[in-house]
Amino acid sequence: MKEFKTIKNFIFDCDGVLYANLEKVFGQVSKRMTEYISKKLNIDLKKAKEMQTNYFHEYNTSLNGLMVHHKIDPREFLEYVHDINLNFLEKDFILREELLKLNAKKIVFTNGSNDHVINITKHLGIDDLFDGSFDIVDCNFIPKPAIEPYEKLAKKFNINPKETVFIDDIAKNLEPAKKLGMKTVWLINNEYWGKKDSDKNFIDLKIKNLSSFLKEINILQAA
């Protein structure tokens, strides 16, 4: 952990990192994606779900595949799929306390939309604690783990990758961050897509809980 003492920038993925119950959130998003594809392309829900899954695996986001093959309006898609109910999400006072103590630049980096990040962080009670977010629109709809979004993020927020840590629940998204010189942290989970490549050496640290990890960092940096 000593190598994290001099970290000046913390980059957080949103879904599955800032909150734990991914299925309750992304289950809704996924269902909305299937509905959108079904309505937009005039196909049944089963075929829409297959297309959604196949595009996700081939293009890293379903949206990317839909844009390539069907010229889908990405902003319309993002607005539709992120129109979900987050009332079950409770304020995370422990995470808020650790983020407040963290003497560093804090950025959310997502393959989703900025509106979705705002919605999530407001429900968690941490929306006022970040220096900004970098979403799929900011990177011209090129999703993680392509390296271009990471480079654009670093340039936009004027950060030195060697003074930065990136935390994600999808292991393969950490590889480009490592290539740029960032410290990489994988938030352990049992999702098939999340744990794929989690045994690779581009991961510096594996954690079970974000708040506990930040608490360790805060103690380390205060010493």
pTM recorded for the entire structure:
0.94
Fold of 24-81: DNA polymerase; domain 1 (1.10.150)
Distances in whole angstroms, Cα of residue 58 to Cα of each of 143, 160, 221: 12, 31, 41
Quick: pLDDT tens for 185-217.
Answer: 999 999 888 999 999 999 999 999 999 999 999
Residue 138 sits at the vertex; the CA angle it makes with 32 and 67, to the nearest 5 degrees, is 50
User: Do the domains 2-20+89-222 and 24-81 sit in the same CATH topology, yes or no?
Assistant: no
- Residue spans of the domains in the chain: they are 2-20+89-222, 24-81
Which ranges of the chain does DSSP label H, i.e. alpha helix? Answer: 22-41, 45-59, 62-70, 74-81, 93-101, 114-124, 147-156, 174-180, 192-195, 210-222
Quick: pLDDT tens for 137-184.
Answer: 999 999 999 999 999 999 999 999 999 999 999 999 999 999 999 999
Phi and psi dihedrals of 73, rounded to 5? -70, 110
**2-20+89-222 carries CATH number 3.40.630.30:** no
Residue entry with tokens 């800032």: 18
